[in-house]
Amino acid sequence: INVPRSRFLPVKKTSDLLLVMSNLYTLDHGSLMMSPKRMFPSTPLVKLGENNFKNVSAFLSRFGSIPDLLELDHITVSGDVTFGRGVSLRGTVIIIANHGDRIDIPAGAILENKIVSGNLRILDH
């Protein structure tokens, strides 16, 4: 049986799951379609750290909501990183939390062509 890619998008890793759950794809009569709002037809390159994003439950616990990926080219995430609700990722984004550090991307943040490293925690008061 041959199934066209429009009906089947393999999800082998949580990086694939991030793409499928994002606003890059819509479901149209049982077929996954690239959003017409995306300016180019290629999918972004997504690299999520093995230790903190390996299984689905750990992956889901790190997102307040799945970020907007419509304008994303490439994202690399490594270490203890969490994303708030309504985050938008654009261009090339690299987020690296060093061993023992934690990075919390705040709700509503727009990261465009950024490198975030070290330790970042923004707390509501």
Task: Give tens-digit pLDDT for 37-75.
Answer: 998 888 999 999 988 998 999 999 999 999 999 999 999
Q: Is 12 a catalytic residue?
A: yes
The token pair at 44 is 């972004």
User: What global pTM score does this model have?
Assistant: 0.86
Q: How many CB atoms lie within 10 A of CB 49?
A: 18
Closest alpha carbon to 117 in 105, 125, 109: 105
Predicted confidence at residue 123, as pLDDT, reads 58
Per the DSSP assignment, residues forming a β-bridge with 102 are 80
Query: What is the tens place of the pLDDT at every residue in 66-109?
Result: 999 999 999 999 999 999 999 999 999 999 999 889 999 999 99
Name the active-site residue from 12, 13, 47, 114: 12
pLDDT band at 34; cut points 50, 70, 90: confident
Handedness of CA 71, 76, 111, 18 (dihedral sign): positive
HSE-up (13 A, CA, CB side) for residue 102:
8
